[in-house]
Structure 1
Amino acid sequence: MRRRDFIRGGLVLATGGAVGPGLSARSYARVVGANERVNVAVIGAGGRGWRNLASISGREEQEFAGGRVTGTRVVALCDVDLRREGPRQPGAARAFDEFEDAAKYHDYRDMLDELDRDIDAVLVSTPNHHHAPASIMAMRRGKHVYCEKPGAHSVSEARAMSRVASERAVATQLGTQVHSSENYRRVVELIRHGAIGEVSACHLWLRSGWPATDRPAGTPPVPPDLQWDLWLGPAPERPYHPSYIPTRWHQWWDFGGGMLGNMGCHYVDLAFWTMELEVPSTVESDGPRPPHPESAPGWQHVRYTFDRGPGRPPFTLTWTHGPEPRGDLADYHLPDWAWGVFVGSEGQLLVSYPRHELLPERKFADYRRPTPSLPPSVGHHQEWINACRGKGRPSCHFGDSMRVTEAVLLGNVAYRSGRRLRWDASRLAIDDAPETESLLRRDYRPGWM
């Protein structure tokens, strides 16, 4: 199949069209033997990609749990920017130098074409607008995929990621690494054990934000070690400007989803896991008005409600980013270390990545915690590698994690539309608000769909 036909068949799902031409049985994942190494190709080898590369190759211990990864071979690297440097997140140039035996590419379409039979799995650490295109291309070739959060740039892409992963029977994992931590497991156990009674709400607060801003003016020359057109990829064509990279692309709707799109999956994931949430029934969002057409807000408050069946009130989940608590969160005085609180009929549970605390302190001073029941993770990356070899299922596989991504992205749809959304997950549609349809999907530049 020609590359253009292959890309069209894989990505038409993300834009809401019909499924493209079917692929042969070989497009399903190769079963990697228990004693074989998994041949991994990495798309995005600098910055956050370096951290994933160092972990997946066994050079550094995995974050939060699990020691060093075993059973892998890095066979290819792909990146478009060789300039970035830093002590903890160096640029792709270092990766290209240190992984001498790996094939080197700037265009992941070429890499997937030319090394199809040499690659078992693909790790995607690109900006958000490449997450779904790169992942879906790989999955439709039968490659197992690990993708950084949020894993999609639009709601329909999130749904397509889950669907294609299921259709192609591949092992997948979303890069919400803190899910593998012991602290998150203890929080889940406390809630399910009834430590704070009937839980009615969870409120989350990220104490930072980038203010919305106009698109940068000027057209400086593209640096020689940056492939700007490939960096844009499926996104609208824009002139190069240093304001976008290496990290501020998060701020613009063309490439990212603001602070909610950047960090929402890490925080919201804990509420989804603990409360066994499915999909929100309503979503509403407040922020600076009117919404900037180009960039995300410096502060934002999102309120999700989840139906819990007859006779039970809905569960409320809120997200706030920015320097001040807003909405329901304003009623709680979170200490500096905490970014979230579960509210129950018998108390509260404060949470953060490394820590949690039951309140009121006096009431829970002698509380006897439940015996740990959730087994420790072997590590977020190792879970995925094991699944590539037919052992177990990753804890954040796309079948589960894309529900979190979908909810996060709906928060931005609600903000940009200014509407209280009634979400019909079965139809991938918003009831009584047809004008929001365009915010659920996105178009791609020619050559990327």
Structure 2
Amino acid sequence: MNHSRRKFLVTASALMAGTGLASVLPAGLQGMPFKKVSPSDKLNFGAIGIKGMGWADISAILKNPEAQCVALCDVDKNVLDQRVAELAQKGIKVKAYSDYRKLLEDKDIDAVVIGTPDHWHALMMTDACAAGKDVYVEKPIGNSIMECRAMVAAQQRHNRVVQVGQWQRSQQHFKDAIDFVHSGQLGQIRLVKAWAYMGWMKSIPVHPDSAPPPGVDYTSWLGPAQKRPFNENRFHFNFRWFWDYAGGLMTDWGVHLLDYALLGMKSQYPKSIMAAGGKFAYPDDAAETPDTLTTVFEFEGYNIQWEHATGIDGGPYGRDHGIAFIGNNGTLVLDRGGWEVIPEKGKMEAVPRRKAVDNGLDLHTKNFIEVIKSRKLDDLHASIQVGALVATNAQMGNIAYKTGKKIYWDAAKGRFKDADANKYLAAAYHNGYKIPGL
């Protein structure tokens, strides 16, 4: 599984396009044993935002006999019609919605998947909790620090099961690697590196504004984002590279990898953050977020360093992504494909690469279903609190980049010690929308 998120989505899309949902429904699971579940035991799911990861998520959920999909929602009618037809080919009839609020009014729905662009996550997740639904929400959970707080507050207020789509939390080799880090065998760890070198991401050509494609409710797609003319560069997958909707690779991949850096060091929030980078590879293309960035998070006695670069695959230790715990005795290098320990000469034994052996997304969605049924929230692999911690740290990295300063965090007050940095605590909401809970 040593591949980028983009490769994962392309592979998943190709698989689904070629076989419908045969590969993700119980009948096509290559002989995997399932217990029989009566209709009264089934959980009814709805999915909101079904172009990319939202579709991958609901497809993984449908591998579980306890789950059935009863509703889909998307503001792009072309996508919605396609997904409804794919399910219909498998004998699954669903209700189709263009307005997520109408889906949430459906009392037959027990839980929802939210796979929309980042700037919609907070509103939809808090509305879903208020409607009594359990939620599987894609990462990063919020497009600002204040959104993260609002989402945690909503989960606590309504006591819902909320799983964040940081599916690496369900992979065994990640757990094994962190257990090794916590064993102390690496010695004192002074530096943790996390990185994403995305060779697949090339320059995004500048395109003129245009009318939205037929069937797209562009006003609803924008939601709380600033009103702008439609541009294909900002739509579907590439929304990630524009500040109105997301935070670039710092939040898109950073929440996956910084999550394990923080977990390995048992860390919460840094004392200070500084970042430097820019559009070095593609200075004149359409993207807004930096294609090259180095961020340093200062903790007591160690640093966590984030790096990303687009158009390059040759990251540290010969890997395009990963986390490296650098200790006095050796360095543990972890990625989606496995982990290994590179020793300092004469200080410890090497640990040969131990490869991944499971499917993180399948296990993650299964964990979500299990907790919905048990209501034991502590059993969640990636709770909203987990998602908020790492998303907040990733947002701190972007805020340091935007201010161009070394900024300091006041943990007691939950804000920065710098007025310019505090201007970025909350995302700007437009078009009559307000940040949930504020």
Task: Identify which of 133, 137, 155 aligns with 1:143.
Answer: 133
Q: Deviations over 1:143-198 (max 9, x none)?
A: 11111110111111011111211121111111011221111011111111122112
Paired residue secondary structure (1:379):
helix
Quote the RMSD (CA, aligned, Å). 3.2
Q: Does 1:176 pair with 2:153?
A: no
Distance across 1 between alignment mates of 2:127 and 2:316: 46
* 1:323, distance to aligned residue in structure 2 (A): 5.9
Question: Equivalents in 2 of 1:72, 1:288: separation in Å?
Answer: 44
**1:414-429 equivalent positions in 2, closer than 5 A:** 414-429=400-415
Does residue 243 (structure 1) correspond to residue 233 (structure 2)? The answer is yes
Is residue 99 of structure 1 aligned with residue 90 of structure 2?
no
Provide closer, same or farther for how the CA distance between residues 386 and 345 of structure 1 changes in structure 2, counting only shifts above 3 A.
same
Separation in 1 of the partners of 2:310 and 2:124?
Answer: 35
Match of 1:74 among 55, 61, 69: 69
2:288 maps to which residue?
Answer: 295
Residue from 320, 327, 331 that aligns with 1:344: 327
Alignment of 1:106-145 (within 5 A): 106-113=98-105, 115=106, 117-145=107-135
- Structure 1 segments of 4+ aligned residues over 4 angstroms from their partners: 209-214, 289-294, 361-369
Q: 1:37 to 1:219 in 2, by over 3 A?
A: same
- Cα distance change, pair 338–416 in 1 and its aligned pair in 2 (3 A): closer
**Alpha-carbon deviations, 1:14-39, whole Å to 9, x = none?**
xxxxxxxxxxxxxxxxxxx9972222
CA drift at 1:142: 2.2
**Which residue of structure 2 lines up, in the alignment, with residue 44 of structure 1?**
49
The number of residue pairs the alignment matches comes to: 380
Q: Which moves more between the two structures, 341-350 or 422-431?
A: 422-431
For residue 53 of structure 2, what is the amino acid of its counterpart?
R
Flag the 1:436–1:173 CA change in 2: closer, same or farther, 3 A. Answer: same
Please list the CA deviations of residues 208-253 of structure 1 after superposition, one character each: whole Å capped at 9, or x if unmatched: 3868989x56332221122211111111111111112221111110
Residue 236 of structure 2 aligns to a residue whose secondary structure is: coil
In 1, Cα distance between equivalents of 2:252 and 2:361: 24
| 1:61 corresponding residue in structure 2 | none
Aligned-partner residue type, residue 39 of structure 1: N
Amino acid at match of 1:345: N
Q: What's the CA shift for 1:130?
A: 0.8
2:272 counterpart of 1:279: no
CA contact (8 A) 1:286 1:415 kept: yes
Unaligned runs of 5+ in 1: 1-32, 59-68, 84-90, 308-312, 370-375
3-state SS, counterpart of residue 222 of structure 1: coil
Change (3 A) 1:400 1:429: same
Q: TM-score, normalised by structure 2?
A: 0.79
Within 1, Cα distance between the matches of 2:351 and 2:323?
21
TM-score, normalised relative to structure 1: 0.77
Contact 2:47 / 2:71 at 8 angstroms: preserved in 1? yes
CA distance in 1, matches of 2:324, 2:186: 11
| Cα distance in 1 between the residues matched to 2:77 and 2:361 | 34
Residue identity opposite 1:78 in structure 2 = C
What is the aligned partner in structure 2 of residue 335 from structure 1?
A: 318
Change (3 A) 1:201 1:287: same
Aligned to 2:6: none
Alignment match of 1:306 (pick from 291, 299, 324): 299
Deviation (angstroms), 1:268: 0.7
Secondary structure at the aligned position of 1:302 is classed as strand
Distance verdict in 2 for CA 1:346–1:361, change over 3 Å = closer
Q: Does 1:382 align with 2:366?
A: yes
Question: Does 1:406 find its partner at 2:392?
Answer: yes
For residues 414-445 of structure 1, give each alpha carbon's deviation from its aligned partner in whole angstroms, at most 9, with x where no partner exists. Answer: 100112111124423111x1122221112323
In the alignment, is the contact (CA less than 8 A) between 1:174 and 1:401 conserved in 2? yes
2:12 corresponds in structure 1 to: none
Quick one: distance in 2 between partners of 1:339 and 1:213?
25
For 2:162 and 2:56, how far apart are their aligned partners in 1? Answer: 18
- Using the alignment, how far apart are the partners of 2:316 and 2:369 within structure 1? 41
Question: 2:230 corresponds to which letter in structure 1?
Answer: Y
Matched, 1:358 2:350: no
Q: Deviations over 1:241-287 (max 9, x none)?
A: 11122211111100111111211111111112222211122111111
Distance 1:338 1:296 in 2: 19
1:316 maps to what in 2?
303
Cα distance, 1:180–1:300 mapped onto 2, change above 3 Å: same
1:358 and 1:173 mapped to 2: Cα distance?
Answer: 31
- Is the partner of 2:273 in helix, strand or coil? strand
Give the secondary-structure state (helix, strand or coil) at the position aligned to 2:198: coil
In the alignment, which of 153, 161, 167 is matched to residue 163 of structure 1? 153
Q: Which 10-residue stretch deviates more, 91-100 or 143-152?
A: 91-100
Percent identity over paired residues:
26
Structure 1, 357-366 or 46-55: larger mean CA deviation:
357-366
The Cα offsets for residues 351-387 of structure 1, whole Å up to 9 and x where unpaired, read as: 1111111112875547699xxxxxx998101111111
Residue 96 of structure 1 aligns with an amino acid whose one-letter code is: V
| Bigger helix fraction | 2
3-state DSSP class of the match of 1:334?
A: helix
Judging changes above 3 Å, is the alpha-carbon distance between structure 1 residues 272 and 255 closer, same or farther for their aligned structure 2 residues?
same
Task: Quote the Cα distance in structure 2 between the aligned partners of 1:275 and 1:47.
Answer: 32
Q: Secondary structure at the match of 2:317?
A: coil
* Amino acid in structure 2 at the alignment position of 1:395: H
User: Structure 2 CA distance, aligned partners of 1:401 and 1:124?
Assistant: 14
Contact kept in structure 2, 1:48 and 1:125, CA below 8 Å: yes
